[in-house]
Every structure is written in C-alpha cells, then in structure tokens.
Amino acid sequence: MAHPEYQYLSLLRRLIDHGAARVDRTGVGTKALFGEQMRFDLSAGFPLLTTKKIFHRQAIHEMLWFLSGDTSIRPLLANKVRIWTDWPLANYRKKSGEDISQEDFEARVLVDDTFAAQWGDLGPVYGKQWRRWQGPDGKVIDQIQDLVDGIRTNPTSRRLLFTGWNVADLPDMALPPCHMTYQFFVADGKLSGLIFQRSADTLLGLPWNLCEGALLIHMLAHQCDLSVGDLVWQGGDVHLYLNHIPQAEEQLTREPRPFPQLVIKRKPDSLFDYRFEDFEITGYDPHPHIKADVAV
C-alpha cells in the first residue's frame, strides 16, 4: 500500500494544479479546493508528516493548552510556542499605534499581568468553548468531560462530539475556530475520530492539525481503555497560500519515510492531567524543515 502521507502530497499537487484562485481575508491569495478527506490508521503509525520536519513539541503544547481551557497566549509563550502571537500583536499595534517588536510584545505578556489580561487574550476561542461553553441559563458546559463520559458509558452513541463553533461568541474571537467540530466512533475496542475543519492552510496549519487530532484520539483512547482506530480529516475550504507554492513544490520532490510512534509514558487520573513530559515521539526521521510565512 502507498504510504499514507501521499494523501497529503497529492492534495498539495492538486491544489497547485487545479485549485481555484481566490482572494482571501489576509490579502495573500490562495488556490483552493472544496471538500477534501484523508484517513490515517493510527495503529499503523503516528501521522506526523515526514516530508518536512513538523515541530511536534509545539503542537503537543498547543493541544494541552486547548484542553486546559485557557485562551491567553501567555502559557504558550511560557513554553516557547509563538504561533498565536501574530493576531494579538496586530491588534495591539493597531489600537495602541505603538510599533512594538514581536519579542518585546511577548516579553510584556509574560511579565505584566495587566498587559497580558488586556492584550494577550484571544477571546472565547477553542479552550473556552471546549471546556466552558456558557449556556443561556448561565450553566457552564464542559464538552470534553461530557465526551469522555459518553465514550465510557455509551460508546455506540452517535452524539460523541464537541464543537468550538459558538455562533454567539464568534464576534469576540481573535479568529473563529478552523478545526471546529470533532466526532468520535467506537467499534471493536478501537476509538476513531473525525475532524471537520472549515478552513485549512494546507502547508502550515494542516500538518499541525493532523498531529494534534491524532494526539487527542490517543489521549482519549488511553483514558477510556480503548485502542486507536482511524483519524479521519475533512476540510471545507482547503487552500494553499500563493506564497507557499515554492515550498509545496520543494516538499513534493521528497519521498515519505516511515511514520513515527507516539508513546504515552504515564496514565494520569483524568484527560486533563497529562503533562508535556508524558509524551514521546519515537522513530521520527523527517526531511529538513521548510520555512514559510504565515498569513495573518
């Protein structure tokens, strides 16, 4: 069987060859396809792309941050994860008129509590909706805890899902959720998960989304005494930014190598008690990193 990474590489190829040219919110421009799907059998390996190095250390931190319910970039910065800085930074520069550098902005968020509260928060993004969805009656809903309970007590339920797409809260979010809905399925002692992603930056964001989706399935399966099944990824507007085409062409010259394995070294009492040190990726031997600028 062909290496599963060819699903991703063939998507890059099709985007370059057949994507519809579009003007997008960022002004960069994209080539886009609508309605794409990929499937990875997690028992056969961890889907961390090998045709370029993916910074999985940062991706693991991001997933733990979502699960913690936090929406400030401060805990990310404390772990040297800088992928979310651009949005609050642009907001601060615009509103304050101060031409602050990214480094200085990040340093202030880290040391100054008042500054961090005012400028370092992304609004009611992923973590808030996943863990603290506010009901109309003021009741707070923990969608992830409910999911864990559901998988354990009613594994054939067709309602094992959670979503970040809280319509009423969208205007207050720095960015509306991209990987917006997750659904789960238990069969033959295996847990599978499906991600619906309304908008996918195929070169930069998507490899992280696959890594983090796979990590979440592993964690849920670990907690619910199941083994891992498939990660199914579905994308709505799946795009390649025009300034990423040379990087995509470079990546397409490379041959996939075997996927690594994820080792979870400890079983904590709950899904929310995992620490970064509990995870190890073994056997990862990727091609070199390919640098690309993120569209803000």
Ligand X SMILES: O=c1ccn([C@H]2C[C@H](O)[C@@H](COP(=O)(O)O)O2)c(=O)[nH]1
Ligand Y SMILES: Nc1nc(=O)c2c([nH]1)NC[C@@H]1CN(c3ccc(C(=O)N[C@@H](CCC(=O)O)C(=O)O)cc3)CN21
Which option in ligand X, ligand Y, none does residue 200 bind, with CB closer than 5 to 8 A by kind?
Answer: ligand X
Residues in 184-203 that interact with ligand X by CB under 6 A: 199-201
C-alpha 12/C-alpha 7 separation (Å) is 9
Applying CB under 6 A, among 65, 66, 182, 208 the residue interacting with ligand Y is: 208
Under the criterion CB under 6 A, does residue 83 sit at the interface with ligand Y?
A: yes
Under the criterion CB under 6 A, does residue 175 sit at the interface with ligand X?
A: yes
Give me the half-sphere count of Cα atoms (radius 13 Å) on the Cβ side of residue 32: 18
Q: Binding pattern to ligand X, positions 233-272, x when CB under 6 A?
A: ----------------------------------------
**Residue 61 vs 179, nearer CB to ligand X:** 179
Tell how strand 279-282 and strand 140-141 pair up: unpaired
| Residues ≥6 apart with Cβ < 8 Å to 51 | 5, 8, 9, 251, 254, 255, 256, 286, 287
Q: Is 224 a catalytic residue?
A: no
Residues in 3-32 that interact with ligand X by CB under 6 A: 25
Under the criterion CB under 6 A, does residue 205 sit at the interface with ligand Y?
A: yes
Element (H, E) at 60: helix 56-68
Q: Take residue 276 and report the two structure tokens written for it.
A: 């970064």
C-alpha 150/C-alpha 157 separation (Å) is 8
| Residues ≥6 apart with Cβ < 8 Å to 145 | 131, 271
Active-site residue (options: 178, 186, 194, 216): 178
Range in contact with ligand X (rule: CB under 6 A) among 77-85, 92-100, 156-164, 205-213:
205-213
Task: Tell me how far, at minimum, the Cβ of 161 lies from ligand Y, in Å.
Answer: 22
Q: Which residues are catalytic?
A: 178
Q: Where do contacts with ligand X occur on this chain (CB under 6 A)?
A: 25, 175-176, 178-179, 199-201, 205-206, 209
